[in-house]
Structures are given as C-alpha cells and as structure tokens.
Copies of this chain bind each other. A is one copy, B any other.
Amino acid sequence: VASDQTLDVVRAYHGAWTCKNFEEAAHFLSPALIVEVPNNDYPSKDTFAAALRGFGGMVRNVNVLAAMCSDDEAMLLYDLDAEQLGWLRVVEHFTVAEGLITRLRQIHDTAPVRASGLASSGA
C-alpha cells in the first residue's frame, strides 16, 4: 500500500510537468528536496522547479517505458523529445515521504544535451 502511494505521487508529479502544469508539479516537491543530476547543481526546491519549467517548456513528447516502486522509492524510465535536443532516454529515481518528493535523481546521457547547447537549462 505504501508503495502504491509512492508511485501515485511520482506519477502525479510526472504527469503534471509533462503537461506543462509546472506549479502543480512543484507542489509535489518537498521544501527539503535533494536533487542529484549530472552537471547541474540545484541547492533548493525553487532552483530545481525553475529549471524544470525552463526545460519542461521545450518538451514535445514523453513516452513512459517503465514505472515501478519499492516502499518509499520509485523509478521512471521514459523517452522524451525536446526542442533543439530531439529524443533522450531518461531515468528518474524518487524518494517520497508524506506525499512529497524528498530526493530526485536523474540519469541520462549528457553528451546529446551538451551538443544541443542546452546543458545550462537543467537537463
């Protein structure tokens, strides 16, 4: 049951930002959010939410390939298609506490992101 709730939160967050409802998405991020992504540093929820808005606004399509969870953790695997970038395969690993995402790890290939000139946009 706890696992299902974890995945519900993660799916709601993912569904919100991929539909460009960035304010709604930010509501699922804990004020104590810890972000682990390649290349960039987001010391706060607000800096990450701003980057999500910037990059998310360029995303044209998202195909979720896998979604699974274990207790307070969940993982999503998806392909996204963004302006300037094209298709990129992404994994996110989430930790959830009390309905909020407290840690978000992103794993993807940075080579195409750098090549597109988007590396500073938070991708």
Question: CB < 8 Å: which of B70, B109, B111 contacts A107?
Answer: B109
Q: Which residues of B contact A70 (CB under 8 A)?
A: 66-69
Identical subunits present: 2
- Chain A contact residues: over half helix, strand or loop, or mixed? strand
| Chain B nearest Cβ from A104, distance in angstroms | 12
* CB-CB nearest in chain B for A77: B93
Which among B68, B105, B109 is the interface contact of A68 at CB below 8 angstroms? B68
> Which A residues fall within an 8 A CB radius of B?
38, 65-70, 73-75, 77, 89-91, 93, 105, 107-111, 114
> What 9 A-B pairs are tightest by C-beta distance, nearest first?
A68-B70, A91-B91, A68-B68, A91-B107, A109-B110, A110-B111, A75-B75, A111-B111, A38-B109
